Structure 1
């Protein structure tokens, strides 16, 4: 698929993996809607970086865990560019607790932001993606959704749910030309991983066969591959994890 002139929404696009994806899409000629909820300044910096490099992007506020705000995000893309070709469901948070200490509020918040948001945005975007003729839905899951993680029952359940969502939706949309895939990052150099205690992080790196953390740009390039060359790839989990989970 020729990416120049396509339109993409990246949820949670103001930082980390989302920001890297937004910039890489723009570098390939895609017009990008950088979604954010609370990080306005970060989102505007992403847009500024894209524009300085000759790309086109706008920042749009919206809590995609709320269906109405997700619909308004999609409508903002349509109002600005008249179409939508690519949806990147990347928005995510962590509220790590051992299960015995996990309360209902932190369970529901993580499920809402990491999983229910994908339902909200996809529901609103789907008619436009089908109209596109070769739409792309890419859900950013996680190695934790595949292997589990200590103190992460909420996060793991949400990210595993994204994988199941991906597979079922891919089956339903296969005849429309819309592909649906999940990317499952391993441990990537982001603010989220930086919050881990140093001794724990060192133990994680020691378990990775490639002996290093991943880079956000490596996730972004996987997105580009699926968008540009993935017309016969759907319902898949693309693992970018340095060999930590196979």
Structure 2
């Protein structure tokens, strides 16, 4: 995979995705906002695999920052073939409490989970269409978008909207651009471990395979979607059978 990938978000799953793409020979640009040290460490690990790895600072709750990050990535890598929109936003809250998140938090969730992926593709589109083999956008969705639960109601609603965004973009932005999403289940990451232990135990027991979503299994889905030239508008659910009934 002699391509230039752009990774959004570096902690947890983002690190595994970055290293997986680097192992495939892809150059990577790694996004961070407040914490540069983890981004630099992941970039160094990627560089050890013989690829070019750079970092790009941007707030992925801002469409203007998203646009700038694409422009900076193209400048640093000399091109762009793949965008992995791995960032998102939520705040853990009582799902049933309609006052749990205020209006600015709902707006922030909408911006991060819907507006920014749209802005990333809009910024990357001219480069993608100029590439001989086009370009790829893959977002990190969530099974929360297929169910009625999760870290917050705003998160579930906006992740559902992201699924519809992917379908609309895929329908209208071909044939040179492919757009898909990966829907993980429970991931044992810094973020996922914010759930109470009893919730984690319940979720794992509920999964048909009786284990969490393994990070490498999830990252492998991104690699597959980046390579598969016959898939667009698709959601690939990698959740150990936690939400089989999801539509």
TM-score under structure 1 length normalisation: 0.93
| Structure with the bigger percentage of helix | 1
- Decide which of 26, 29, 34 is 1:33's aligned counterpart: 29
Give the equivalent residue in structure 2 for 1:11.
8
Which consecutive residues of structure 2, in runs of 5 or more, have no partner in the other structure? none
What root-mean-square deviation, in Å, do the aligned CA atoms of Structure 1 and Structure 2 show? 1.4
1:245 & 1:130 partners in 2: Cα distance?
A: 36
Provide closer, same or farther for how the CA distance between residues 211 and 127 of structure 1 changes in structure 2, counting only shifts above 3 A: same
For the 8 Å contact 1:179–1:234, the answer to whether it is kept is yes
Give the equivalent residue in structure 2 for 1:52.
48
2:188 & 2:179 partners in 1: Cα distance?
A: 26
- Decide which of 232, 235, 238 is 1:237's aligned counterpart: 235
What is the CA-CA distance between 1:186 and the residue it aligns to?
0.7
Provide closer, same or farther for how the CA distance between residues 64 and 151 of structure 1 changes in structure 2, counting only shifts above 3 A: closer
Alignment of 1:219-230 (within 5 A): 219-228=218-227, 230=228
What is the CA-CA distance between 1:82 and the residue it aligns to?
2.3
1:151 & 1:57 partners in 2: Cα distance?
A: 32
SS in 1 for 2:28: strand
SS in 2 for 1:10: strand
What is the CA-CA distance between 1:163 and the residue it aligns to?
0.4
Provide closer, same or farther for how the CA distance between residues 106 and 30 of structure 1 changes in structure 2, counting only shifts above 3 A: same
What is the CA-CA distance between 1:83 and the residue it aligns to?
1.4
1:243 & 1:151 partners in 2: Cα distance?
A: 19
Alignment of 1:197-208 (within 5 A): 197-208=196-207
> Once structures 1 and 2 are overlaid, which stretch shifts more, 213-222 or 24-33?
213-222
1:186 & 1:142 partners in 2: Cα distance?
A: 7
Give the equivalent residue in structure 2 for 1:155.
155
> Once structures 1 and 2 are overlaid, which stretch shifts more, 231-240 or 67-76?
67-76
SS in 2 for 1:92: coil
What is the CA-CA distance between 1:23 and the residue it aligns to?
1.0
Q: Is 2:60 aligned against 1:64?
A: yes
Runs of 4+ residues deviating >3 angstroms: none
Give the equivalent residue in structure 2 for 1:210.
209
TM-score under structure 2 length normalisation: 0.93
For the 8 Å contact 1:64–1:120, the answer to whether it is kept is no
For the 8 Å contact 2:83–2:138, the answer to whether it is kept is yes
2:202 & 2:61 partners in 1: Cα distance?
A: 33
SS in 2 for 1:101: coil
For the 8 Å contact 1:91–1:117, the answer to whether it is kept is no
SS in 2 for 1:180: strand
